[in-house]
Amino acid sequence: MPPSSDECYLNAADVLDSYHFNGNRAVAVLIMRCAANYTIHFNPDARPTIPNAVFHVQVQKCLLTTDSLNTLSNRASFNHVSFINTYPLQKYSYCDGSKLLYSNCRYLKSANAIGVILPEKHNAVNFSEMFQCNETFPNVKELQFRRFDLNQHLSHLKYKFPNLQDLQISDSFLKTSPNFPWNNKRMYFENNKSLSETGLYDSATRYNVIIQPNMRKRVLNLNSNDIETLVGFRFEGYLDMLKLSGNGLSSFSSFTFSGLLGLQHLDLSVNYLSKLPTDGFRGLTALRHMNLHANLLSVVSDDMFYYNTELVYLDLSNNSISMIGPHAFSRLHHLQELRLEYNNIVTLSYSMFPAFSVSFRSLILDGNPLSKFPDAVLYFKTLQEVSLRYTSIDFQNFTQMLLDLNFSLLAEGNAQSSTTTETDLLKSSPRRLKRIDLTGSKINNLHLKYFGTSLSTRLNARMKKLKLLILLKYFQFILTDNPIHCDCRINHFTRFVKRMLADGLLRGNEYFFNDWKCSSPAEFQYKPVFQVPESDTYCKIDIPKCPATCSCYERSVSGITIVDCRNRGLTDFPEQLPDGILDLWFQNNNITNVTRTSYLSRTRQLLLSGNKHLKVSPEVIRGFDILKLAT
């Protein structure tokens, strides 16, 4: 009978003969991928099983009957079997009237791993029918179900798969957890196999799990189910990883995780946890990775992670944290990465963090309403990446911030060795700059105040110089997308940098010479801060005779007064202007005539571009250093 449009008949022999085995041990991959749910039938191949070869079989969207799968497995030993957006057909009527004997699932006898990801909105597959065979599957060590309603069948898993090491049931409407693991027997890969370095990274290291390359990982993954509470439930046994992300979980008991042995990775992200029970993580002394991202936590107490001293990764981002205990993370001496972004944190202290850690390298604080720069982040020897993007930090009192820095901690945290002297610290350069990312914050100036000449102020100035040099030489401050206003207040800073260049303490090729750019005023936009001539800078002043509709500024070196009346709708020149030499910015108004007034004789610069129908008599033009009438 010719195949119908949605069915396909293949010879198993043709498929298997396309592989070229030489008798040595081999792993073969067979992927059957269909554009739609076509039914594939395999005609029998009566030859003996292919020796020393195991198959990883993946079926994507195609429909295969258990008869066809059994036909293939007569010659090909299935090691991994996975169904993606499909499932093995349990019921089928052949053209001769015979029906599928779905109780025969011989193709799974040798399988070590089984995965079934059902199509979305599909609930026609019955677990009992799929594994109807009157037998267990002791070889199966890994089992994955997705979009598979197993609420009525959780208790059957233990008997069907007694040696399971890795159980993943996600997006499957579970209301509670299975009592997994059901044994504490750790297992190794068959045939003396071991994961490569890349395979070990993908399987374990990237999740901060330490495991031998020849050992199977023990995992329970229950992500994206409906487990809203675990009050009264207790996990028990050896697990490396437990994942409970995206369940709507709002509560658990103090003993929920206390029965777990050796747990290294716990994911409780994207839930509704607002408060954690006292000693909720007490028994998890091997824990290395904790993810509490996107919950409703508002407080991190000193004892929340008191017993989890092996943590290397802690994610508390996207909560509502506004209060952190003064020693909340101080015991986490192995911590490498701490994520606190997008909370309500307004202050941080040095004592909160693991001061004696030799591995603390990354701290993420983006999107918090911090207005004061947290100086604590400058004191850790190993902290290489601090992200403070999109905060409210403004450096409003930059000079006081420098004075408040703890010089001993700053020097110790950046010394290249235990014998580094103050001179060494200033003259040497680190192999790598520590990165402080302040992108998108509110830094509008780098105002370095002058201290004067008294003894106390000279001492302050010396200490300020030392601290500022350490910041410039050992840190990379990223100030992208900050509203840096390059007015006269930047001049003390630029003078300091030039003096350090002259003294040989800076080289001139440091990142900040090009990377720190002005945002305003308009004539300096995108110009590097240290390329703005001091003589071109100016600051706003309150001065007599300054027109009420205009703004007046004083140039830094010359003292010339700028009268800025741009875009004010003027039709005539003001009757009077401040005393002294003037620069007049009258662009983009409605002035039509320029007549000589008393202050024009002391005007150095007159800018009139953008005034339509402007008429200027020749005698008015004479005597100006700068006259600009049109763009």
**What is the tens place of the pLDDT at every residue in 289-340?**
999 999 999 999 999 999 999 999 999 999 999 999 999 999 999 999 999 9
What pTM value is reported for the model?
0.90
**pLDDT over threshold 90, residue 596:** no
Other C-beta atoms lying within 10 Å of the C-beta of residue 175 = 12
**pLDDT over threshold 60, residue 4:** no
| Backbone region of residue 594 per phi and psi (left: phi > 0; alpha: psi in -120 to 50; beta: other values) | beta
User: Helix H segments across 100-206?
Assistant: 127-130, 154-160, 197-203
Which residues are 478's β-sheet partners? 437
At residue 427, the pLDDT reads 82
Q: Exposed e or buried b for every residue in 334-358, given b needs 16+ CB within 10 A?
A: bbbbbbbbbbebeebebebbbbebe
Cα–Cα distance for residue pair 201/234, rounded to 1 Å: 30
**pLDDT over threshold 70, residue 102:** no
Cα–Cα distance for residue pair 365/371, rounded to 1 Å: 12
Q: What is the pLDDT of residues 253-277, one digit of tens each?
A: 999 999 999 999 999 999 999 999 9
Is residue 11 helix, strand or coil? strand
CA of 386: how far to CAs of 79, 206, 233, 412, 559, in Å? 46, 21, 39, 18, 41
- Biggest alpha carbon–alpha carbon distance for the chain: 113
Angle at 442 between CA 299 and CA 377, to 5 degrees: 50
Cα–Cα distance for residue pair 186/215, rounded to 1 Å: 8
**Which among 334, 274, 328 has a CA at the least distance from the CA of 305?**
328
DSSP code of residue 536: G
Which two structure tokens, joined as six digits, stand for 50?
A: 């292919």
| Residues belonging to the chain | 631
Cα–Cα distance for residue pair 618/393, rounded to 1 Å: 53
Which residues are 242's β-sheet partners? 220, 266
User: Which region among 7-11, 109-113, 168-172, 446-450 has the lowest average model confidence (pLDDT)?
Assistant: 446-450
| Backbone region of residue 97 per phi and psi (left: phi > 0; alpha: psi in -120 to 50; beta: other values) | left
| CATH placement of domain 536-628 | 3.80.10.10
**pLDDT over threshold 60, residue 631:** no
At residue 601, the pLDDT reads 86
Task: Show contacts of 623-628: CB within 8 Å, 24+ apart.
Answer: 626/583, 628/587
Contact 306, 330 (CB under 8 A): no
Q: What percent of the chain has pLDDT over 90?
A: 68
**pLDDT over threshold 80, residue 1:** no
Question: Where are the domains positioned within the chain?
Answer: 1-135, 394-532, 536-628
| Backbone region of residue 171 per phi and psi (left: phi > 0; alpha: psi in -120 to 50; beta: other values) | left
- Strands 561-564 and 551-555 come out as antiparallel
Q: What percent of the chain has pLDDT over 70?
A: 93
* Orientation angle between helical segments 491-502 and 455-474, nearest 10 degrees: 80
- Please tell me the number of Cα atoms within 13 Å of 349 on its side-chain side: 9
Other C-beta atoms lying within 10 Å of the C-beta of residue 31 = 12
